[in-house]
Structure 1
Amino acid sequence: MPTTPHASDLASILPGVWNVRATNFPMWLNRERKSPRFSYDLVSENPLTLRDDVSYFTADNQEKHVVGTDKWADDHFVWRGKSLLKLARSRWAVTGKNDASTVLAIRFEKTAFTPAGIDVIVREAVEIDELRSLVARNTEQFGLTAEDFASLTWLD
């Protein structure tokens, strides 16, 4: 049974820095963007609102950032970009987690600019032995199908 957290749980689980360790999202699979990280800061608990900073390194080792705000709506977040991306929106949800809430699966819906995708993220500074095996043995807990799992590429 998936352990999809409720908004009140996400307010305490998400703040902090997370490393993308597995994905099927094309943005992270090309050689132009490396070492993706998500940083979440709690803005408000009611309604649940987060500030996020998605960072990565380019092929020539320049760090880039995409900053936005995530607002809870029913059972998912609605992301809105800042600055040049202020008109951009996307929907995403945490579909499951491990018991310690240090590994999360996130599902992104398709937008006009990006395909749907899945990321498996791990809290920064947490080492998970055999991460791939953990997720493989617990796909349902992470809200993943066998096809979802098979579509993931595991990042260094």
Structure 2
Amino acid sequence: MATPTLSLGLPQIHATTKHNKSTPPTNDFLTGTWHVTHSSLPLWKNKRNVQITYTALPAQSGITKLDDRVQYQASGSDKIKSVHGVDTPSRSNQGAWDWRGKGWLVIASSHWECLGFGREDDGNEWVVTYFAKTLFTPAGIDVYSRRRAGLGEGMVERILGVVRGFGVLEMQELADAIFEIPRD
């Protein structure tokens, strides 16, 4: 069986042509719970069981925002912590969102983009995201899976191979910094 081509695109800060952009996922594809299985973001280094749940909010003025709830556990702890915010679609970049925290995190914001998404042969869905640098975190990439167990053998390396193949130093460095997030 032939290996399907992965369609991933560069984040807007690096994309200079339309050819470098992937087709963005629909809100229907994004909604639901995702397990963050791999990341280059240092904030996940001492965490486990990281999940993100997206829920479409009622459209206002034709714009559908996503409720964004991240849950995780610190290594060695059973306490579940969460971060809650709202994602607003970027007006200038399909497949990108601007996150704003809720509650005491209302002062925090970030920009994230979907580099690619797909479905493995066995039906497991995946997403690769890019997070722009903020005051609190460096730029990074995450790999999400619908299944807690993660992606099939070799799939993460195939995805990272495409990211490295963009030929952009920052993206190569982020792909090289990827680590697996423990899940139990």
Normalized against structure 2, the TM-score is what? Answer: 0.71
Task: Tell me what 1:109 maps to.
Answer: 132
Tell me, in whole angstroms, the C-alpha distance in 1 between the residues paired with 2:114 and 2:58: 18
1:23 to 32, 39, 55: 39
Superimposed CA distance per residue, residues 9-41 of structure 1 (whole angstroms, 9 cap, x where no aligned partner): 431211010011110101101x2x221110000
Task: Tell me what 1:71 maps to.
Answer: 88
CA change 1:48–1:129 in 2 (3 A) is same
Contact 2:35 2:148 in 1 (8 A): no
1:121 to 144, 147, 161: 144
Contact 2:73 2:80 in 1 (8 A): yes
Point out the structure with max Rg over C-alpha.
Answer: 2
2:8 to 2, 7, 17: 2
CA change 1:43–1:71 in 2 (3 A) is same
Tell me, in whole angstroms, the C-alpha distance in 2 between the residues paired with 1:71 and 1:149: 26
Tell me, in whole angstroms, the C-alpha distance in 2 between the residues paired with 1:125 and 1:36: 9
Query: Which aligned pairs between 1:9-48 and structure 2 lie closer than 5 A?
Result: 9-29=25-45, 31=46, 33-44=47-58, 46-48=62-64
Contact 2:56 2:65 in 1 (8 A): yes
Q: Which amino acid aligns with 1:153?
A: F
Task: Tell me what 2:19 maps to.
Answer: none
2:113 to 72, 77, 93: 93
Q: Which amino acid aligns with 1:36?
A: V
Higher strand share: 1
Runs of at least 4 residues off by over 6 Å: 140-144
CA change 1:5–1:141 in 2 (3 A) is farther
Gaps of 5+ in 2: 1-6, 10-21
Superimposed CA distance per residue, residues 59-110 of structure 1 (whole angstroms, 9 cap, x where no aligned partner): 3210011010000012220101111001211110111123558111111111
Moved more, 79-88 or 93-102: 93-102
Contact 1:53 1:68 in 2 (8 A): yes
Identity %: 26
Q: Which amino acid aligns with 2:8?
A: P
1:142 offset after TM fit, Å?
Answer: 9.4
Gaps of 5+ in 1: none
Give 3-state SS (helix, strand or coil) of 1:105's partner: strand
CA change 1:115–1:136 in 2 (3 A) is closer
CA change 1:117–1:133 in 2 (3 A) is closer
Contact 1:96 1:142 in 2 (8 A): no
